């Protein structure tokens, strides 16, 4: 048994060589973005992309943050992501709780309707989705984006959560009912605390997908003042495509929050995103 | 001792009850009625949200695909005209076929990398490799990033004056810089490589967990029978990886066929140069909302028909996924 997993020193060297090669392929782009974002001029970037800046400076970041309005884009991304997480988590836990714990006529049909959303990606319905959003007067509003994003998360969220809810033992809940607890109380005080890990997964999935989403804001937002980072970065690229040092700084601003969150909670990210990816 | 209702007691017509119940009357309701009302109030918001912003557009795609509608003014029912035009009209069917072929190429590039490199690195990481957890962390790191960020980062790195060209010139591998994204031949593969670079970590994790899930007793038995490491991999580990391979293939297929973010970001709806990066997602986007120059007419009915065609193409895969998920539930 041990023999299979144990590597002899020569083998270890070979394995390390291969892994290191890919590690470099992954790491070098980040490294390049970082060192070049600190350079003072395009000339330095083009002349020697792999060398460290003559003098490290944060001016590019300040310029992007203030002049190019990254502060505004950042806030919009935050509002969209937090709003999406709140709506998606609240509505999906409520619905999944009833779907998984209560027998009623139409339960199975409703569940299958939710599964249609897993089967057919919402992007394929972009034309009618646009019409729906337009008719509800939600074009060009962050609320519209939040609702669409949250709705697109519902199928996966309901699926993940209802699996969890089904595995809870019904006894505590029944005891609470006997004591006269109503569904609101059972949901809020008894059931929710028991499915915290699933809620964390759903919240993580919703946040990452809302933060990274490009298509829905592109379809529904017209005002630059409402743009999230994804569209903002594109605007920035239109303006500063030639000024690579600025562009790299913009990229780092866009990537930093995700990378920091990932490094702080890598286990949750890897598990949650892998699980969410499988369910989609 | 209060009567403890069995689940059957409140099993019937929750939905009918809901419609009749009036919130104002809550005061006078019995425990059972209050219970039903509250269950309904818990269930309805999620159903409405999903129904309006997800299910309705999906149904709308089916309906709209039978209409001719530029987005404003009245829509005309045209029956199967959109589909006929899409499949037989020279201009439309050329674009469809071109987009389909290129989507397929995109898919093949991604899936080769995911299965080939994914299995290699997962195997290497399954041994007692030094620095295993650091490698796992690093390999997964690009996955949660926004496609916009990865696309622009890649664009700068493969630019004519960018680091890769400089490096290759420096080592005399090429005599003139390569225009990775500027040439019709290389643009699509380059974009597929960006996406593969970002998403390989996901496949590595999936294959790795399948390898680690191989039952220890099977391996032990193989070793006792005198199997070498390669024989163990070949005859014990690989057969168990088949489900993971199928899963990765299907997820990639669905992703590539419905998600055109990378091309849209880097090339816009015109999917240049000369439509060489056009995939089904950009074709649908361009049909629905016009080209980047604002020329070309929006044709929402036709876009819905394209959406239907893509749905049919990926339906076997997604239904397989859904059934698999339901079974594991």
Is the pLDDT reported for residue B144 higher than 70?
yes
Which residue, A182, A232, A279, is CA-closest to A80?
A: A232
Residue B72 is given by DSSP the state S
Q: Which residue among B35, B53, B167 sits closest to A148, beta carbon to beta carbon? A: B53
Number of domains in chain A: 1
pLDDT at A146: 97
The Cα of A179 is separated from the nearest Cα of chain B by a number of Å equal to 8
pLDDT tier at B129, thresholds 50, 70, 90: confident
pLDDT at B295 over 70: no
CATH tag, B82-328: 1.10.3720.10
Token pair for B21:
């119940």
- Work out how many CB contacts closer than 8 A connect A with B: 316
Strand-pair category, B76-77 with B67-68: antiparallel
Handedness of CA B220, B224, B228, B234 (dihedral sign): negative
Domain carrying residue A146: 81-223+264-279
The stretch A108-132 carries a mean pLDDT of 90
pLDDT tens per residue, range B229-245: 888 888 888 888 888 99
Nearest to A95 among B35, B46, B261 (CB): B46
Among the residue ranges A205-214, B223-232, B285-294, the one predicted with the least confidence is B285-294
Q: What's phi and psi for A180, nearest 5 deg? A: 90, 15
DSSP type of residue B68? E
Higher pLDDT, A3 or B149: B149
**Is A180 in Cβ contact with B49 (below 8 Å)?**
no
What single string gives the DSSP state of each residue in A238-250? HHHTT-HHHHHHH
Every domain of chain B and the residues it spans:
7-64, 82-328
- Cα separation, B319 vs B317, in Å, equals 6
A27, A119, A132 member nearest B53 (Cβ): A132
Is pTM, for the whole model, over 0.90?
no
Q: Does B289 reach chain A within 8 Å, measured CB to CB? A: yes
* Band (A40; pLDDT cuts 50, 70, 90): confident
Place of tokens 């999406």: A84
Residue of A nearest to B44 (CA): A95
Give the residue from B40, B148, B250 with the most A CB atoms within 10 Å of its CB, the best one to mutate. Answer: B148
Helix (H, G, I), strand (E, B) or coil at B76: strand
Chain B CB contacts of A1 below 8 Å: 216, 219-220, 223
Interchain CB contact of B126 with A (< 8 Å): yes
**Residue B266: its pLDDT value, please?**
93
Residue A135 lies in a domain: yes
Q: Is B26 on the interface with A (CB under 8 A)?
A: no
Q: What is the mean pLDDT of chain B?
A: 86
Q: What is the pLDDT of residue B6?
A: 45
> What is the model's pLDDT at position A120?
87
Q: Cβ(B269)–Cβ(B285) under 8 Å?
A: yes
Does residue A200 lie in a domain region?
A: yes
Share of chain A above pLDDT 70, in %: 98
What pLDDT score does B191 carry?
96
Q: Which residues contact B273 (CB under 8 A, 6 or more apart)?
A: B182, B183, B184, B187
| B77 touching A (Cβ < 8 Å) | no
CATH classification at residue A94: 1.10.3720.10
Does A98 reside within a domain? yes
Task: Judge residue B281's burial from the number of C-beta atoms within 10 Å of its C-beta, 0-12 exposed, 13-18 middle, 19 or more buried.
Answer: buried
Cβ of residue B236 closer than 8 Å to a chain A Cβ: no
CA-to-CA separations, A231 to A138, A221, A259, in angstroms, rounded = 18, 9, 19
Residues of A in contact with B162 (CB under 8 A): 49
Note whether B53 contacts A159, CB cutoff 8 Å.
no
A152/chain B closest Cα distance in angstroms: 6
Contacts of B82 (CB under 8 A, 6+ apart): B65, B66, B67, B68, B301, B302, B304, B305
pLDDT at site B296: 57
Q: Nearest residue of A to residue B289 by CA position? A: A127
| ipTM value for the complex | 0.91
Which of B268, B164, B34 minimizes the C-alpha distance to A183? B34
3-state DSSP assignment of residue B77: strand
Q: Does any domain span residue A127?
A: yes
Test A15 with B56 for CB contact under 8 angstroms.
Answer: no
- pLDDT number for residue B22: 47
């Amino acid at each position: 048994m041990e023999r299979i997993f144990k590597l002899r020193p020569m083998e270890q060297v070979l394995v390390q060589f291969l892994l290191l090669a890919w590690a470099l392929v992954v790491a070098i782009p980040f490294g390049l973005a970082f060192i070049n974002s600190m350079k003072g001029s395009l000339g330095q970037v083009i002349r020697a992309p792999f060398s460290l800046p003559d003098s490290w400076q944060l001016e590019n970041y300040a310029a992007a943050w203030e002049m190019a309005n990254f502060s505004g884009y950042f806030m919009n991304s935050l509002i969209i992501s937090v709003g999406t997480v709140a709506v998606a988590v609240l509505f999906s836990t409520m619905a999944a709780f009833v779907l998984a714990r209560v027998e009623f006529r139409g339960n199975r049909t409703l569940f299958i309707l939710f599964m249609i959303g897993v089967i057919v990606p919402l992007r394929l319905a972009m034309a009618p989705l646009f019409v729906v959003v337009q008719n509800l007067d939600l074009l060009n509003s962050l609320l519209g984006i939040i609702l669409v994003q949250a709705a697109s998360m519902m199928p996966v969220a309901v699926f993940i959560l209802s699996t969890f809810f089904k595995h809870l033992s019904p006894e505590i809940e029944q005891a609470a009912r006997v004591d006269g607890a109503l569904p609101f109380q059972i949901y809020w005080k008894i059931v929710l605390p028991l499915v915290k890990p699933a809620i964390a997964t759903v919240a993580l999935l919703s946040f990452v997908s809302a933060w990274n989403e490009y298509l829905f804001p592109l379809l529904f937002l017209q005002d630059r003042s409402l743009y999230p980072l994804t569209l903002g970065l594109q605007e920035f690229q239109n303006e500063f495509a030639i000024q690579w040092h600025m562009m790299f700084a913009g990229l780092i601003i866009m990537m930093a929050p995700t990378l920091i969150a990932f490094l702080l909670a890598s286990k949750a990210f890897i598990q949650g995103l892998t699980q969410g990816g499988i369910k989609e | 001792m209060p009567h403890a209702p069995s689940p059957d007691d409140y099993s019937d017509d929750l939905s009918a009850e809901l419609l009749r119940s009036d919130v104002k009357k809550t005061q006078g309701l019995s425990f059972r009625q209050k219970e039903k009302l509250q269950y309904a109030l818990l269930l309805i918001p999620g159903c409405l949200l999903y129904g309006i912003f997800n299910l309705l557009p999906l149904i709308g795609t089916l309906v709209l695909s039978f209409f001719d509608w530029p987005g404003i003014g009245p829509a005309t029912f045209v029956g199967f005209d959109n589909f006929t035009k899409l499949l037989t009209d020279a201009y439309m069917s050329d674009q469809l076929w071109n987009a389909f072929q290129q989507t397929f190429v995109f898919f093949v590039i991604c899936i080769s990398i995911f299965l080939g490199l994914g299995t290699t690195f997962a195997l290497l990481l399954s041994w007692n490799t030094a620095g295993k957890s650091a490698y796992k962390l690093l390999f997964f790191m690009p996955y949660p990033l926004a496609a916009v960020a990865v696309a622009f980062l890649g664009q700068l790195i493969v630019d004519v004056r960018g680091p890769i060209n400089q490096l290759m010139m420096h080592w005399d591998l090429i005599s003139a810089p390569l225009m990775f994204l500027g040439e019709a031949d290389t643009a699509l593969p380059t974009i597929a490589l960006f996406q593969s670079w970002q998403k390989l970590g996901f496949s590595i994790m999936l294959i790795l967990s399948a390898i680690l899930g191989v039952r220890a007793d099977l391996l032990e038995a193989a070793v006792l029978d005198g199997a070498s490491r390669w024989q163990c991999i070949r005859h014990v580990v690989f057969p168990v990886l088949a489900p993971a391979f199928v899963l990765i293939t299907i997820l990639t297929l669905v992703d590539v066929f419905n998600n055109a973010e990378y091309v849209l970001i880097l090339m816009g709806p015109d999917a240049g140069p000369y439509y060489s990066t056009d995939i089904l997602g950009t074709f649908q986007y361009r049909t629905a909302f016009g080209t980047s120059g604002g020329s070309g007419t929006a044709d929402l009915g036709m876009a819905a028909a394209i959406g239907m065609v893509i749905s049919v193409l990926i339906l076997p895969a997604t239904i397989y996924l859904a059934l698999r998920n339901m079974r594991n539930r």
